[in-house]
Amino acid sequence: MNTRWGIIDLGTNTFHLLIVEKKQEQVETLFHESFPVRIGLGGINQNLITPEATERALTTLGYFREQLDKFQVARERTFAFGTSAIRNADNQEEFREKIYLRHKIDITVIDGLREAEYIYHGVRKGAKLGEEPSLIMDIGGGSVEFIIGNQNQVLWKQSFEIGGQRMMEKFMRKDPMTESDRKRLYHYFDENLVSLANAIHQYAPKKLVGSSGTFDTLIDIDFYARTNQPPAPEITDFPLSLESFYSTFSKILTGSHQERMAIPGMISLRVDMIVVASCLIDYLIRTYELKEIQVSRYALKEGVLAQLLEQ
């Protein structure tokens, strides 16, 4: 008996669709695509999904609906998850209703802890975490999920509403970012990540494990710098040396939008948000003396799949 699932991750920046089929014990990916929908743009700090963002969402989900129908994924086996931008939007119900009426996609809005749980399962599927506790981080456009855990278990997890789109709108007043705005941003981290500081003090992770957007781009930039080509798509577990990160970080921090766009491996969706996101990575490495960076290509949607397979 073959089972097909469709998993939609409605992130603040990017919408992803993953369609898989389970045959006996094998799981095959039939379709996987991502689109830069940016539903947080222009409204995230006002807790609104703007009419323009809703239109972009409807267009992308119309395409996803076509793919789900083409691959004959049953409605009851289609799972759509809304994260930070949707869960904090005052017009969340109206947004979900429009999507359902137009495309018959029912969005489940998940809280930050459930999001962190799925991310952990995805990261663990994509990367060898090992026995020592690691600090796992997923930087989204609306929220950032932190998990301290190893290959076997989660020791601590929390979601913070400090995602890239939020930070960019609050702190990136000029481009390149000014030194004083960067100081304000780091002060903001000090004030808002107190519970993370306590957890790191308790579990003492020495490795940062990153997933999603910014980390994917940092890996692509690293590969282009070393090999002049992108990494093979089947690889899901990457080391990222601190030297490589700081080499990219200095270019990101001092460059203008155009100069960042010229870095091989950079993509337009990430070109501005990567500034504040990389500042967060730098802040964590220096504040908590983290010794290495590992990147997993798998995140929320693969975590949802891992949990579905377990059931």
Q: pLDDT-derived band of residue 289, with 50, 70 and 90 as boundaries?
A: very high
Report whether 82 contacts 96 (CB < 8 A). yes
What is the residue-averaged pLDDT of the chain? 97
Q: Which of 91, 102, 135, 132 is nearest to 116 (CA)?
A: 135
Digit-coded pLDDT (tens) for 60-79:
999 999 999 999 999 999 99
Residue 296 and residue 123: Cα distance in Å, rounded? 6
Digit-coded pLDDT (tens) for 167-192:
999 999 999 999 999 999 999 999 99
Q: What is the pLDDT of residue 1?
A: 67
Which residues, in sequence order, are bridge partners of residue 19? 6, 31
User: Domain coordinates of the chain in residue numbers?
Assistant: 3-110, 113-301
Digit-coded pLDDT (tens) for 107-156:
999 999 999 999 999 999 999 999 999 999 999 999 999 999 999 999 99
Digit-coded pLDDT (tens) for 213-249:
999 999 999 999 999 999 999 999 999 999 999 999 9
Q: Which of 23, 75, 85, 22 is nearest to 54 (CA)?
A: 85
Cβ burial, residue 63 (10 Å; 0-12/13-18/19+): middle
Residue 280 and residue 171: Cα distance in Å, rounded? 12
Helices (H), 104-234: 112-126, 164-171, 179-192, 194-203, 213-227
Residue 252 and residue 217: Cα distance in Å, rounded? 12
CATH class of 113-301: alpha beta
Q: What is the pLDDT of residue 311?
A: 82
Paired tokens of 72: 């004959």
Q: pLDDT-derived band of residue 266, with 50, 70 and 90 as boundaries?
A: very high
Q: What separation in angstroms does the CA of 149 have from each of 6, 136, 203?
A: 28, 7, 9
Q: Where on the phi/psi map is residue 269: left (φ > 0), alpha (ψ -120 to 50), or beta?
A: alpha
- Find the Cα–Cα–Cα–Cα dihedral 49, 38, 188, 200, rounded to 10°: 110
Q: Do domains 3-110 and 113-301 have the same CATH topology?
A: yes
Residue 287 and residue 84: Cα distance in Å, rounded? 26
Q: What is the pLDDT of residue 25?
A: 84
Residue 8, SS3 per DSSP: strand
Digit-coded pLDDT (tens) for 81-117:
999 999 999 999 999 999 999 999 999 999 999 999 9
> How crowded is residue 17: how many other Cβ atoms within 10 Å of its Cβ?
24
User: Is 24 a residue whose pLDDT tops 90?
Assistant: no
Q: 3-state SS of 89-100?
A: CCCHHHHHHHHH
Q: What is the pLDDT of residue 2?
A: 77
User: Which one-letter amino acid corresponds to residue 125?
Assistant: K
Q: Alpha-carbon torsion 287, 290, 294, 300, what sign?
A: negative
Number of continuous H segments (helices) and E segments (strands) in the chain: 12, 11
User: Which one-letter amino acid corresponds to residue 307?
Assistant: Q
Fold observed for domain 3-110: Nucleotidyltransferase; domain 5 (3.30.420)
